[in-house]
Amino acid sequence: MANPQENALHYPLGQALPAPGTTLEVAPGVRWVRMGLPFALDHINLWLLRDVQDGVEGWAVVDCGVANEATRANWEQVFAHGLQGLPVLRVIVTHMHPDHIGLAHWLCERWSTPPSRQAASVGARDCRLWISSTDWNAARVGSQATTGFGGENAARFYAQHGLTDPESLAGVRARSGYYASLVPQVPRCYRRLMDGMRLSIGAFEWHCIVGYGHAPEHIALHCPALNVLIAGDMVLPRISTNVSVYDLEPEADPLPLYLSSIAKLRSLPADTLVLPSHGKPFIGLHERISQLHAHHDDRLEEVLAACTDTPRCAAEMIPVLFKRKLDLHQMTFAMGEAIAHLHALAETGRLTAVPGSDGVQRYCTNR
């Protein structure tokens, strides 16, 4: 069932979706690719931009999908039928989450000329990864260890915030290699993207817009000439972007960062065509930003009401914030979101942390 707020947005492509292994044009030189995901959120949108580098015509890939055989097979179909016989010249990644960077190493390697052949090859080239420095480093760490998505430290962190169910904690501990299973490698070198950079991609200029709260240094891309925003995960049409606190930064306060980041996007035209990482392309950027702010305002008030007089922990906020049954994957995100909302209220003085004798961190209104 569609979210009622969707009625306030316009979907210019209607119900059209690119079939697996195919592309769909959404703007001049911009093509939509859709890949499956092994989660409840079952897809990710990826983008192809017509590009030229050093006189060579080709494509820039924006985001990659997770590292599994199904995604690689879909990419091979795109390469065979959707690139007009042209190569991939660079890979641009909005941020370090597995569905965005998982196959970056494979794509860069797949479209680079091996060093052993470069001397004899005409048009030898490196297909470079372009990403923010913070997210490249975070992905490198994550591909070699746990990054807050699972393992003993994550289980201990969630237990400190009230998740005591043995089965859930055992599941979190078992996910110690979860990130690396979806991002087994990250390209060893990259081109750095920074806020305010202007990229010439083919015939058009794209502006980098940094966003915080969802990822360490998320980069969205805006093309004024096309009136198109590749929003990554910062603005999604049907669901709210996950904003979480993880065990690696246990005192983080990401929700205000996220809300201020999307507020900056109001400077873009209201009729911008938004290309989100999940859901369908839409028009209604300003309306969606207002919806997301209102959504989090409502959630904050619900959390505040639940913590009035009686100290509550993050695990007790799960049924307050989420009205549906959650699997383990969703539960870890829900815990992170609950902690983020509690931290936001505590940082502004509306809640006070109340450490319990059982080692669980709880929060209560000031008494």
CA atoms within 13 A on the CB side of 279: 25
Q: What is the pLDDT of residue 120?
A: 45
Q: Is the pLDDT of residue 117 over 80?
A: no
Residue 324 has pLDDT above 90, yes or no: no
Q: CATH number of the domain at 132, please.
A: 3.60.15.10
Does residue 367 carry a pLDDT above 80?
Answer: no
Could you tell me the pLDDT band of residue 61, with boundaries at 50, 70 and 90?
very high
Q: What is the pLDDT of residue 249?
A: 95
Measured between alpha carbons, how far is 306 from 310 in angstroms, rounded to an integer?
8
- For the segment 142-160, the average pLDDT, to the nearest whole number, is 86
Q: Does 123 score more than 60 pLDDT?
A: no
| Averaged pLDDT score across all residues of the chain | 94
Residue 203, both tokens: 């015939």
pLDDT of residue 122: 47
Q: What pTM was computed for the model?
A: 0.95
Q: What is the mean pLDDT of residues 184-199?
A: 97
Show Cβ contacts of residue 137 under 8 Å, excluding neighbours closer than 6 positions.
none
**Per-residue pLDDT reduced to its tens digit, 254-308:** 999 999 999 999 999 999 999 999 999 999 999 999 999 999 999 999 999 999 9
Has residue 248 got a pLDDT over 60? Answer: yes
The single residue listed with the structure tokens 């709210």 is 240
Contacts of 75 (CB under 8 A, 6+ apart): 35, 65, 103, 107
Most confident of 89-103, 314-328, 353-367: 89-103
The answer to the question of residue 309 being in a domain is: no
Q: Which two tokens stand for residue 26?
A: 């959404």
- Tell me if 244 is assigned to some domain: yes
pLDDT of 5: 80
Instruction: Evaluate if residue 3 carries a pLDDT over 90.
Output: no
Residue 118: the pLDDT is: 42
Q: Cα separation of 40 and 242, whole Å?
A: 14
pLDDT value at residue 1: 41
Residue 6: per-residue pLDDT: 78
Give residues with Cβ within 8 angstroms of 166, minimum separation 6: none
Q: What value does the mean pLDDT take over residues 317-327? A: 92
Residue 363 maps to a domain: no
350: in domain: no
Instruction: Provide the residue range defining the domain that includes 282.
Output: 4-299
Given a cut of 80, whether residue 160 has pLDDT beyond it is yes
Question: Could you tell me the maximum CA-CA distance found in the chain, to the nearest angstrom?
Answer: 76
pLDDT confidence of 147, banded at 50, 70, 90? low
CB-CB contact of 235 with 221 (8 Å): no
Strands in 165-301 per DSSP E = 190-193, 198-201, 204-211, 218-223, 228-232, 273-276, 282-283
The answer as to whether 313 is a domain residue is no
Q: What is the three-state SS of 346-367?
A: HHCCCCEEEECCCCCEEEECCC
> What are the pLDDT digits (tens) for 17-53?
999 999 999 999 999 999 999 988 999 999 999 999 9
Distance separating the N- and C-terminal Cα atoms of the chain: 42
pLDDT of residue 144: 87
Please give the order of strands across the beta sheet that includes 204-211: 198-201, 204-211, 218-223, 228-232, 273-276, 282-283
What is the arithmetic mean of pLDDT over 184-210? 98
- Residue 47 has, within 13 A of its CA and on its CB side, a CA count of 27
Segment 117-137 mean pLDDT: 79
Classify residue 367: in a domain, yes or no.
no
| Cα–Cα distances in angstroms (integers) from residue 53 to residues 60, 203, 344, 357, in the given order | 10, 11, 44, 62
- pLDDT reading at 124 higher than 80: no
Specify if 336 maps to a domain. no
Whether 322 maps to a domain, the answer reads no
Helix (H, G, I), strand (E, B) or coil at 167: helix
Number of separate domains in the chain: 1
With a CB cutoff of 8 Å and minimum separation 6, the contacts of 258 are: 211, 212, 213, 214, 234, 241, 243
